[in-house]
Amino acid sequence: MCGIIGYVGNKKANSILIDGLLALEYRGYDSAGIATLENNEIKILKDKGRVKNILNLDGYDKLEGTYGIAHTRWATHGKPSKENSHPHFDNSKTFAVVHNGIIENYNELRAFLTENGYTFYSQTDTEVIPNLINYYFTKLNDSSKENNEKILEAVSSATKDLKGSYAIEVISPLIPETIIVARKDSPLVIGTSNGENFVASDIPALLTYTRDFYLLDDNELAVITKDSITFYNNNLDTYNKEIKNIEWDASAAEKNGYEDYMLKEIFEQPNSIRETIGSRLKLNEPCNFDDLDISADYLKNVNKIFIVACGTAMHAGLVGKVLLEKLCKIPTEVDIASEFRYRDPIIDDKTLCIYVSQSGETADTITALKLSKAKGAKTLAISNVIGSSITREADYTIYTHAGPEIAVASTKAYTSQVVLFAVLAIHFAEILGFGNSEITINSDGGTITLDNLKKDILSLPKKLNNILENTDIIKQFADEAFKEKDVFFLGRGIDETVAREGSLKLKEISYIHSEAYASGELKHGPIALIENGINVISILTDPSLAKKSISNIQEVITRGAKTMVVTNQDLEGHEFDYVIEIPEVCPLISPILSVVPLQLLAYYISKNKGLDVDKPRNLAKSVTVE
């Protein structure tokens, strides 16, 4: 849940480390610190608060070291404080470590080390790591071995004692201009350039410096100098690793003139949708998934699909469920990843499990995926990050092409995931032989052909632009609603999935309490909460449910609610306080359009409240702990 970075080269490391931390601050921002080697002594500067605070610490301007490590923290063990900030020393100040992840057995390790004379100065789980490295290093009395070999062995031995997740970077004055890294269940990438090398939690933090990356796998280690990178497995056998060239433009990780990353990413959605569709979908041709070798025989034997994800990705999965059931006639369930493995799901070799994670590093989702594989199911990952942990675990992987998403609250990742579900469902339907049939899409018996659905999908970028060019009414509603303490979201059918996502966005970045309900559930309890002046936001895009949805909205109006309706239906003869009109599209993919006004509403309300839109309190972008 934290961000780590490392640098070794010929330049002063401090500014490179700070720039990297600023790019990673969406992963955590309650404390930060850096460590560099100065006159053969490790110098650590750290404090609670944002990364920029490091710049004002005494001694920062005097740092001359050309290699170092750094960390920005999202607190899990120990409150945000200088003492709990990373990097952490061992007792002898021989080893400095930064760590992303959670050491589940740190209490046992702490007790063991205390019995062996070690003292601890923080509340963190991380502090056991440098002391454990020191413990193993001091036990290696083989004088025939060089320090770099002994330290590598000590790091390897220490990691074998760790239960949980970790991505760690280690430096020591005993091995100048060298960083040792290791990972298990937490992300770590190594960027390489001429005469300098980099380490980071995520690729975007390094795009300014390089596009050539090595992706470290679980239980692997690497020794990094400015001129070399040597990879080791858990037995310390060396091996070669393939370098990957990342095509993301470095400017994609910057704001490009927008006031906030979130606003930039909302306005990038037409392009991210276009890129995600890519060459996979064309008119008058079958969908193209060259990277997905799933046969008709396999699909015909699938008796259930599970979509497993967390947060916004789970809401995208709710839309995916509708698409897969409507187009492919395969029963589909959506599960919250953090609950999935604990309910002992009924899975076998006739189950297809789809796992969705923007970062590809969501710990709960990865753990659930491993469970499915153990039970014999085929697994398919949907991620935005090439080479991420989930993509290496799954049997199959397909990527959204949203580009780096920096704001903690997800926007373009959601719409990219939904459009990819739509294209995937069409692909499966074509494999199953439904390509020429009409698909029933709503309770009134409305139908659509796959070719017409493809046309609607291809029209989405233009229609999204239309919404983004007309935001005045959304801003007006936000100007009135930002002082409210409670907001309700309503929808029927597929619109209820969008209500959930709209409610989550508002909670995440404005800290306003909000709830989402299926409109028909109002009279079964929630309507007791509706009172004069309360804001109710409704999504209305399915013509077969329009009359019933309008009736539900009328119920809250008669109780004094203020209403905003996001719709592409004819509302003539009905009076609502605010109506946000969106382009007409097949209801199956309407969430890609109807969610955008809700994203903007949450954004404008947060700005009106003077909050940090990109870094909401207590949240981190990539949830790499359970």
The string of pLDDT tens digits covering residues 513-536 is: 999 999 988 889 888 888 898 999
Percentage with pLDDT > 70 across the chain: 98
Of 250, 279, 314, which marks where a domain is finished? Answer: 250
Q: Which residues of 296-329 are buried (b: 16+ CB within 10 A; e: fewer)?
A: eeebeebebbbbbbbbbbbbbbbbbbbbbebbbe
Predicted confidence (pLDDT) at residue 3 exceeds the cutoff of 70: yes
SS3 23: helix
Q: How far apart are CA 286 and CA 431, in angstroms?
A: 9
H or E element: which one contains 300? helix 296-301
The answer to whether 177 and 225 are in contact (CB under 8 A) is: yes
pLDDT bucket at 182, cuts 50 / 70 / 90: very high
pLDDT, tens digit (0-9, with 9 covering 90-100), for 282-339: 898 999 998 799 999 999 999 999 999 999 999 999 999 999 999 999 999 999 999 9
From the number of C-beta atoms within 10 Å of its C-beta (0-12, 13-18, 19+), residue 264 rates as buried
Predicted confidence (pLDDT) at residue 625 exceeds the cutoff of 60: no
541 Cβ contact list (under 8 Å, min separation 6):
494, 495, 566, 567, 568, 569, 582, 585, 587, 590, 593, 594
The answer to whether 502 and 489 are in contact (CB under 8 A) is: yes
Is residue 448 situated within a structural domain? no
pLDDT bucket at 250, cuts 50 / 70 / 90: low
Is residue 276 situated within a structural domain? yes
Asked if 173 and 279 sit in the same domain, the reply is: no
Q: How far apart are CA 150 and CA 146, in angstroms?
A: 6
pLDDT bucket at 235, cuts 50 / 70 / 90: very high
Beta-carbon neighbour count of residue 256 at 10 Å?
11
From the number of C-beta atoms within 10 Å of its C-beta (0-12, 13-18, 19+), residue 565 rates as buried
Structure tokens at 460: 């989405």
Predicted confidence (pLDDT) at residue 602 exceeds the cutoff of 90: yes
Is residue 619 situated within a structural domain? no
Per-residue HEC secondary structure of 101-140 comes to: EEECCHHHHHHHHHHCCCCCCCCCCCCHHHHHHHHHHHHC
Predicted confidence (pLDDT) at residue 251 exceeds the cutoff of 60: yes
The answer to whether 109 and 161 are in contact (CB under 8 A) is: yes
Is residue 613 situated within a structural domain? no
| Residues recognised as catalytic | 2, 621
H or E element: which one contains 161? helix 147-161
Q: How far apart are CA 494 and CA 20, in angstroms?
A: 40
Helices (H) and strands (E) in the chain, counts: 18, 27
Half-sphere exposure (Cβ direction) of 488: Cα atoms closer than 13 Å: 24
pLDDT, tens digit (0-9, with 9 covering 90-100), for 372-400: 999 999 999 999 987 788 999 999 999 99
Asked if 557 and 577 sit in the same domain, the reply is: yes
φ and ψ of 373, to 5 deg:
-65, -40
Asked if 122 and 223 sit in the same domain, the reply is: yes
Of 191, 224, 250, which marks where a domain is finished? Answer: 250
Write down the pLDDT at residue 523: 84
Write down the pLDDT at residue 247: 79
Beta-carbon neighbour count of residue 284 at 10 Å?
6
The tally of domains found in the chain comes to 3
Asked if 38 and 17 sit in the same domain, the reply is: yes
Is residue 579 situated within a structural domain? yes
Asked if 138 and 15 sit in the same domain, the reply is: yes
SS3 177: coil
CA–CA–CA angle 554, 555, 558 (5° rounding)? 80
pLDDT, tens digit (0-9, with 9 covering 90-100), for 147-178: 889 999 999 999 999 998 899 999 999 999 99
CATH number at residue 184: 3.60.20.10
558 Cβ contact list (under 8 Å, min separation 6):
none
Asked if 508 and 436 sit in the same domain, the reply is: no
Is residue 451 situated within a structural domain? no
Q: How far apart are CA 180 and CA 185, in angstroms?
A: 17
Predicted confidence (pLDDT) at residue 143 exceeds the cutoff of 80: no
| CA end-to-end span of the chain | 10
Predicted confidence (pLDDT) at residue 141 exceeds the cutoff of 90: no
Asked if 83 and 54 sit in the same domain, the reply is: yes
Interval 236-244 mean pLDDT:
94
DSSP 8-state class, residue 185: B
The answer to whether 226 and 190 are in contact (CB under 8 A) is: no
Is residue 575 situated within a structural domain? yes
Predicted confidence (pLDDT) at residue 621 exceeds the cutoff of 90: no
Interval 91-108 mean pLDDT:
94
Sheet strand arrangement including 513-518: 513-518, 486-491, 535-540, 562-567, 578-581
Beta-carbon neighbour count of residue 458 at 10 Å?
15
Interval 72-93 mean pLDDT:
89
Interval 429-444 mean pLDDT:
86
Q: How far apart are CA 599 and CA 130, in angstroms?
A: 43
Q: What pTM was estimated for this model as a whole?
A: 0.79
Asked if 232 and 322 sit in the same domain, the reply is: no
Asked if 215 and 76 sit in the same domain, the reply is: yes
Structure tokens at 370: 């491993």
Q: Helices in 329-410 by DSSP H: which ranges?
A: 337-340, 363-374, 389-393
Interval 122-146 mean pLDDT:
91
The answer to whether 233 and 160 are in contact (CB under 8 A) is: no
From 282, 256, 278, 281, select the one nearest 267 (Cα to Cα): 256
pLDDT bucket at 69, cuts 50 / 70 / 90: very high
Of 412, 443, 474, which marks where a domain is finished? Answer: 443
Predicted confidence (pLDDT) at residue 119 exceeds the cutoff of 60: yes
Q: How far apart are CA 190 and CA 249, in angstroms?
A: 18
Q: Which residues of 239-252 are buried (b: 16+ CB within 10 A; e: fewer)?
A: eeeeeeebeeeeeb
Sign of CA pseudo-dihedral 579, 584, 585, 588: positive
- Residue 74 belongs to domain spanning: 3-250
CATH number at residue 413: 3.40.50.10490
Q: How far apart are CA 479 and CA 626, in angstroms?
A: 37
Characterize the bridge pairing of strands 513-518 and 578-581.
unpaired
Asked if 225 and 306 sit in the same domain, the reply is: no
Predicted confidence (pLDDT) at residue 624 exceeds the cutoff of 70: no
Query: Could you give the C-alpha distances from 191 to 79, 100, 206, 245, in angstroms and in order?
Result: 32, 18, 7, 10
Interval 251-279 mean pLDDT:
88
Q: How far apart are CA 188 and CA 270, in angstroms?
A: 30
Write down the pLDDT at residue 75: 73
Write down the pLDDT at residue 202: 87
4 strand-pairing partners: 71
Is residue 519 situated within a structural domain? yes
Mean pLDDT over the full length of the chain:
92
Half-sphere exposure (Cβ direction) of 604: Cα atoms closer than 13 Å: 17
Indicate the residue type of 467.
I
Asked if 488 and 391 sit in the same domain, the reply is: no
Q: What is the CA radius of gyration of the chain?
A: 26
Asked if 403 and 503 sit in the same domain, the reply is: no
H or E element: which one contains 468? helix 460-468
Q: How far apart are CA 181 and CA 152, in angstroms?
A: 9
Q: How far apart are CA 34 and CA 5, in angstroms?
A: 9
